[in-house]
Amino acid sequence: MEKSQKIIFASDENCPVRRSLNLLGGKWTLLILFQINERIIRYGELKRAIPGISEKMLIQELNFLVEHKFVSKKAYPEIPPRVEYSLTKLGLKTLPIADTLATFGLESLT
Amino acid sequence: MEKSQKIIFASDENCPVRRSLNLLGGKWTLLILFQINERIIRYGELKRAIPGISEKMLIQELNFLVEHKFVSKKAYPEIPPRVEYSLTKLGLKTLPIADTLATFGLESLT
DNA sequence: CTTATTTCTAACTTTTAGGTTAGTACCTTA
DNA sequence: TAAGGTACTAACCTAAAAGTTAGAAATAAG
């Protein structure tokens, strides 16, 4: 049997790995997507789900993810305010990335 | 007021996604691992394979990856010098991550 | 009345990433 | 003689990312 050889191209700015990392390579980005996952989750829940993240970074990332259509946001005109976040169709497609990171962490890191 | 509380699996510092990102979340880290892939590659080749990376960042990341046993390094005592890098067993296990990033980039990014 | 809740904004500081320039060592080629 | 190739290291400085702190707005609970 002939062994199929993987062809690797130079990774310029158009490389899909690089384009993905440009969007998702932030320190918290994939973790936030992973935590939202398939649920509808409020801002405060999300904050508690990611201990250590600052409010600034969380809201900044959420704004970024909403702007780039990974996450959709629904705000209820209530007092105190209630805002729910969930993944869009595009956001759901990022879940395999976080899953692969989780698998690697579980299987290969001490 | 008894209300059933949604159980949230918080991503603290022990979360496998977070542990993986701590090691591999750098701007260039996964891209370098992806480019080395299953080959034995020289420093200069790798540099050409990642247009735009500075020598400082490339060597800095390579040193980090060697130190953390993702990459092995073999230097030949020749003039001009020749240094070959390849993935260790651990490094090979990171390839699915980059592959998932590549798939996402190809399928979901314009 | 005060206090708490929730989501988010703004100003400011610190930390990290990255850019630039220079240089090392030794041999080969022109 | 000089320039080129190769794989780095070091020093310096700027830009970007991330962290810290404070507070607003509206209402309800105490």
pLDDT tens per residue across span A32-49 = 999 999 999 999 999 999
Mean pLDDT score of chain A: 92
Q: Which residue of A has its CA nearest to B96?
A: A100
Provide mean pLDDT across the span A86-105.
Answer: 96
Q: Which residues of chain B have pLDDT under 50?
A: 1-8
- Residue A1 pLDDT greater than 80, yes or no: no
Q: What is the DSSP string of B1-53?
A: ---PPPP-----TT-HHHHHHHHH-STTHHHHHHHHTTS-EEHHHHHHHSTT-
In B, residues 14-73, which contact A (CB 8 Å cutoff)? 15-21, 23-25, 27, 30-31, 34-35, 37-39, 48-52
- Contact present, B90 and B20 (Cβ < 8 Å): no
CA distances from B93 to A8, B30, B36, B110 (A): 17, 12, 13, 28
Q: CA A28 – C1' C26 distance (Å)? A: 46
Measuring from the CA of residue A58 to each C1' atom, give the nucleotide at the shortest distance. C8
Looking at every residue in chain B, the average pLDDT score rounds to: 89
Predicted pLDDT at A4: 61
pLDDT at A3: 55
pLDDT classification of A5: cutoffs 50, 70, 90 = low
pLDDT in tens, A38-83: 999 999 999 999 999 999 999 999 999 999 999 999 999 888 899 9
Beta strands per DSSP E along A38-93: 41-42, 71-76, 82-87
What chain B holds in terms of domains, given with CATH numbers, is 16-108 (1.10.10.10)
